[in-house]
Chains A and B, each alone.
Chain A
Amino acid sequence: MSMTFKKLKEIREETLNRMNLRGFPSDKPNAPYRWSVAICMETSCMSSKSPQIKQRLLDLIVRDGKENEIEVVGTGCFGLCEAGPIVIVRPGDTFYYRLNVEDIDRIYESHLLGGEPVRDLIYPESITEDGYLSYFEIPFMAHQERVALRSSGHIDPEDIREYIALGGYEALYKALVEMTPDDVIDVITESGLRGRGGGGFITGRKWRATQASPGDEKFIICNADEGEPGAFMDRSILEGDPHSVIEAMTIAGYAIGSDQGYVYVRAEYPIAVERLEKAIGQANDLGLLGANIFGTGFSFNLEIRLGAGAFVCGETTALAASIEGRRGMPRSRPPYSADKGLWGKPTMINNVETFANVPYIILNGAEAFKKVGTENSPGTKVLALSGKIKNVGLVEIPMGTTLRQLVEEIGGGIPNGKAFKAVQTGGPSGGCIGPELLDTPIDFDRLAEIGSMMGPGGMIVLDEDVCAVDVARFYMDFIVDESCGKCTPCREGTKRMLEILIDITEGRGDETSIPRLERLARTTELASLCGLGQTAANPILSTLKSFRDEYEAHIKEKRCPAGVCKALTNNLTKDD
């Protein structure tokens, strides 16, 4: 079918009218529902049985013929994955946590039929003297600001109409009908949006370079190969709001003059792949993808390509090689992807979260986007908070929020009375940030200044029980596994660094160990072909900076202060 603005508006009105319980104002609400129950259908909650909870609730509703009174919606991520499976009852946004399947019976009887919330199943921190805080008022949500995750948790990601109800595909209409490709690129550039995959490159500049590159055939690629361990931002966006990425890629296609896009997703994310497939199908059916979109003559096709478990494929030239059906090995640049990318044609590659910001910027303008964040890193950042922290989950914060706010306030601190040791950011390319640097604001430049990097957004909190040398060894082991072997500095340098780290953790370190590590780190950094090798030493360099004494304890005293390194545990371990 072909889509018009009028039809889009009709779908929007129609769908909004039945979504009034979910907190969206509607002129003429016609939903008869008394209650709307949102159940998180994201990987983490699903593996804690949220699909069974949803099915059980639906069965109860059908049994009693309450279909017109109670709405059940499977949504994307709410954020506090630690408390999963999460069920939110609206109105009131009552937050039920860590439910068992049979608990839903009580919620149904008491809350949905009787109007009385089930106190002992409600998230304890949302209980107040005279009632219950809504999910969005709990301490975990303080400081958070949702732009990339704006629809996640509110809509059913498998229903394009609900995305449209919240203004979805209006940015695409605006771009195609009211703006020239140059206008689109200008707004994205003015917004200051920087690549959320970790590099922090100015997105508008990338778009401009690909647009300016001569060629009849150009490509748009969405990098969804979230290979960094401890990261699940892109997975959550794809599972919770896949249309935001589809809409943005289409807008990008219009801006740079491309009619073909690819989403390169990890095969480890089956649910994300399934939702994305469904979403692409629905967009095609409604004429929001395919030929002659909004009757403008602009056409755009989108295909999914699966990765197969190679971390290096997050690198743009390696990713292109993988889509072409080759070994995912990077090549030297220039030429850049903007000039010679996929199949040698101009190609623009952005990450999932970067794309998810685009419709918001087109609809609301660069100024609105810049209202949050810092001068050089405007907007928000989605982070995956995990490790030794109370509130594990997905958060979205304004750039400039400090690491301390993230760990202590949003994260709720370290569990079991343990002491904070470090935050690991940027995965194998990033570093460990010790307690002395906790007041560092989270933005691209400030994290780079202290020798770590923003990275895609995995934030792993380490407590005193974690050994800094062992963490460095862990990452180097990962890099040695994942190094593609094409260039010598990375292939050999990382291997030699790993050997030295193993020696240190097994009690064979000597006074040459640290100087040798530092020299190898410099060489690998300078001489490697791609980002993987160039940043491979960061976990070592950053732990050396904050925890040099720990390295020295392993080497000189043959002692692991955290008591992790097994070969050294016969010697005095814990400080206490």
Chain B
Amino acid sequence: MVSHINSEERQKEIAAFERDLERIKDGRGMLMLALHLAQNRFGYVPSDVQRIIADTLKVPLSTVYGVVTFYSRFTLIPRGRCDLSICTGTTCYIQGAEELLKEAEETLGIKDGETSPDGNFSLSTTRCVGACSLAPVVTVNGEVHGRMTVQEMKKLLADLKKQYLSQPESNEDK
């Protein structure tokens, strides 16, 4: 993810993204794919990227914005380098997902849907990752951690803080 890098790096990423778009622009119904590519590359879909997509795929900018805001996977604010997501599907809910969310919100100082100002952490809830046998589950950058308890959540959060706050922001982790 490249949401917190300098402008020169960002220009490079934009250029690379434009090349991605060139490859797909002639296909039918490519807007969703374009947005997935953008979200994965930038960690969000900023307005200048929306404009590039609109121009390249020849769809109105309003349509692009409409689609971005309809789907929960696309975001208008950058996801953190450490993207923590708490599953709040039914099975996880009845096994105590709410307490895990509370713990994460308190420890990270951000609410569900927010990213910390330093760009290190983002917190979100998701409706079922389909790993119900491990309920309640938490994902860290997509990796599933199962059978979580508040105790284990505390430990996980402490580990993540150590990991992400000790190292300076790097441009490597895309």
CA distance A17 to B158 in the complex (A): 52
User: Across the interface, which residues of A come within 8 angstroms of B59, CB to CB?
Assistant: 325
The interface-forming segment of A198-206, A356-364, A386-394 is: A386-394
Task: Decide if A326 touches B89 in the complex (CB within 8 Å).
Answer: no
**CB of B113 to closest CB in A, whole Å:** 12
The interface-forming segment of B3-11, B115-123, B131-139, B162-170 is: B131-139
**CB of A41 to closest CB in B, whole Å:** 14
5 CB contacts below 8 A, A to B, read A229-B93, A232-B132, A268-B130, A387-B90, A460-B91
Task: Decide if A306 touches B133 in the complex (CB within 8 Å).
Answer: no
User: Across the interface, which residues of B come within 8 angstroms of A482, CB to CB?
Assistant: 127
Question: Does any Cβ of A come within 8 Å of B144's Cβ?
Answer: yes
CA distance A48 to B134 in the complex (A): 9
Q: Would you give the 0/1 interface string for A4-26, flagging 1 where the beta carbon is closer than 8 Å to chain B?
A: 00000000000000000000000
Question: Does any Cβ of A come within 8 Å of B145's Cβ?
Answer: yes
**CB of A287 to closest CB in B, whole Å:** 23
Q: A47-B143, A460-B94 are in contact. Are A384 and B132 (CB under 8 A)?
A: yes
Question: Does any Cβ of B come within 8 Å of A172's Cβ?
Answer: no
Using A227-B127, A229-B91, A460-B90 as known contacts, list a sample of 6 further A-B pairs with CB atoms less than 8 Å apart, ordered by residue number in A. Answer: A43-B130, A46-B144, A47-B131, A47-B144, A232-B132, A458-B90
User: Across the interface, which residues of B come within 8 angstroms of A136, CB to CB?
Assistant: none
Q: Would you give the 0/1 interface string for B1-42, flagging 1 where the beta carbon is closer than 8 Å to chain A?
A: 000000000000000000000000000111111011000000
CA distance A458 to B74 in the complex (A): 27
Question: Does any Cβ of B come within 8 Å of A314's Cβ?
Answer: no
Question: Does any Cβ of B come within 8 Å of A369's Cβ?
Answer: no
Question: Does any Cβ of B come within 8 Å of A82's Cβ?
Answer: yes
User: Across the interface, which residues of B come within 8 angstroms of A230, CB to CB?
Assistant: 89-91, 128, 132
Task: Decide if A229 touches B127 in the complex (CB within 8 Å).
Answer: yes
Task: Decide if B32 touches A305 in the complex (CB within 8 Å).
Answer: yes
CA distance A336 to B89 in the complex (A): 31
Q: Which residue of A lies closest to B92 (CB)?
A: A229
Listed residue (A46, A230, A466) with the most chain B CB atoms within 10 angstroms of its CB? A230
Tell me the chain A residues, 112-132 only, with Cβ under 8 Å from chain B.
Answer: none
Question: Does any Cβ of A come within 8 Å of B109's Cβ?
Answer: no
**CB of B62 to closest CB in A, whole Å:** 11
User: Across the interface, which residues of A come within 8 angstroms of B130, CB to CB?
Assistant: 43, 226, 231-232, 235, 268-269
Tell me the chain A residues, 457-486 only, with Cβ under 8 Å from chain B.
Answer: 458, 460, 462, 466, 471, 474-475, 478, 481-482, 484
Q: A309-B72, A309-B126 are in contact. Are A326 and B133 (CB under 8 A)?
A: no
**CB of A51 to closest CB in B, whole Å:** 12
Binding site for B on A (CB under 8 A): 43-44, 46-48, 81-82, 84, 226-232, 235, 267-270, 305-311, 322-329, 343, 384, 386-388, 392-393, 424, 427, 458, 460, 462, 466, 471, 474-475, 478, 481-482, 484
CA distance A268 to B88 in the complex (A): 14
CA distance A471 to B94 in the complex (A): 8
**CB of A384 to closest CB in B, whole Å:** 6
**CB of B37 to closest CB in A, whole Å:** 10
User: Across the interface, which residues of A come within 8 angstroms of B143, CB to CB?
Assistant: 47
Question: Does any Cβ of A come within 8 Å of B160's Cβ?
Answer: no
CA distance A343 to B27 in the complex (A): 13
Task: Decide if A466 touches B94 in the complex (CB within 8 Å).
Answer: yes
Contact of B127 among A46, A269, A311 (CB under 8 A): A311
CA distance A524 to B118 in the complex (A): 44
Task: Decide if A327 touches B66 in the complex (CB within 8 Å).
Answer: yes
**CB of B125 to closest CB in A, whole Å:** 10
Q: Which residue of A lies closest to B134 (CB)?
A: A44
User: Across the interface, which residues of B come within 8 angstroms of A307, CB to CB?
Assistant: 71
Q: A47-B145, A232-B131, A325-B31 are in contact. Are A310 and B94 (CB under 8 A)?
A: no
User: Across the interface, which residues of A come within 8 angstroms of B134, CB to CB?
Assistant: 44, 47-48, 81, 84
CA distance A1 to B95 in the complex (A): 51
Q: A47-B143, A325-B29, A462-B94 are in contact. Are A228 and B128 (CB under 8 A)?
A: yes
Q: Which residue of B lies closest to A83 (CB)?
A: B133
Contact of A328 among B71, B128, B129 (CB under 8 A): B71
**CB of A126 to closest CB in B, whole Å:** 18
CA distance A466 to B132 in the complex (A): 17
Tell me the chain B residues, 32-62 only, with Cβ under 8 Å from chain A.
Answer: 32-33, 35-36, 57, 59
CA distance A267 to B74 in the complex (A): 11
CA distance A428 to B36 in the complex (A): 27
CA distance A267 to B129 in the complex (A): 10
Q: Which residue of A lies closest to B32 (CB)?
A: A325
Question: Does any Cβ of A come within 8 Å of B73's Cβ?
Answer: yes
Contact of B131 among A44, A305, A308, A343 (CB under 8 A): A44
CA distance A309 to B67 in the complex (A): 12
User: Across the interface, which residues of B come within 8 angstroms of A384, CB to CB?
Assistant: 132
Contact of A327 among B70, B89, B128, B137 (CB under 8 A): B70
**CB of A310 to closest CB in B, whole Å:** 5
Q: Which residue of B lies closest to A384 (CB)?
A: B132
Question: Does any Cβ of A come within 8 Å of B171's Cβ?
Answer: no
Q: Which residue of B lies closest to A226 (CB)?
A: B130
CA distance A46 to B28 in the complex (A): 35
Task: Decide if B133 touches A44 in the complex (CB within 8 Å).
Answer: yes
CA distance A376 to B73 in the complex (A): 39
Tell me the chain B residues, 85-115 only, with Cβ under 8 Å from chain A.
Answer: 89-91, 93-95
**CB of B127 to closest CB in A, whole Å:** 5
CA distance A306 to B74 in the complex (A): 12
Q: Which residue of B lies closest to A232 (CB)?
A: B130
Task: Decide if A310 touches B71 in the complex (CB within 8 Å).
Answer: yes
CA distance A261 to B93 in the complex (A): 36
CA distance A327 to B93 in the complex (A): 28
CA distance A328 to B137 in the complex (A): 27
**8 A-B pairs with the lowest CB-CB distances in the bound complex, closest first:** A229-B89, A325-B31, A81-B133, A308-B71, A47-B144, A232-B130, A309-B72, A386-B132
Q: A48-B146, A229-B91 are in contact. Are A308 and B32 (CB under 8 A)?
A: yes
Task: Decide if A325 touches B67 in the complex (CB within 8 Å).
Answer: yes
Q: Which residue of A lies closest to B137 (CB)?
A: A47
CA distance A474 to B57 in the complex (A): 39
CA distance A47 to B29 in the complex (A): 34
Task: Decide if B131 touches A43 in the complex (CB within 8 Å).
Answer: yes
Q: A47-B134, A232-B132, A474-B90 are in contact. Are A308 and B142 (CB under 8 A)?
A: no
Listed residue (B30, B32, B36, B146) with the most chain A CB atoms within 10 angstroms of its CB? B32
Contact of B133 among A269, A270, A392, A474 (CB under 8 A): A392
Task: Decide if A386 touches B63 in the complex (CB within 8 Å).
Answer: no
**CB of A515 to closest CB in B, whole Å:** 27
Listed residue (B57, B128, B137) with the most chain A CB atoms within 10 angstroms of its CB? B128
User: Across the interface, which residues of A come within 8 angstroms of B95, CB to CB?
Assistant: 387
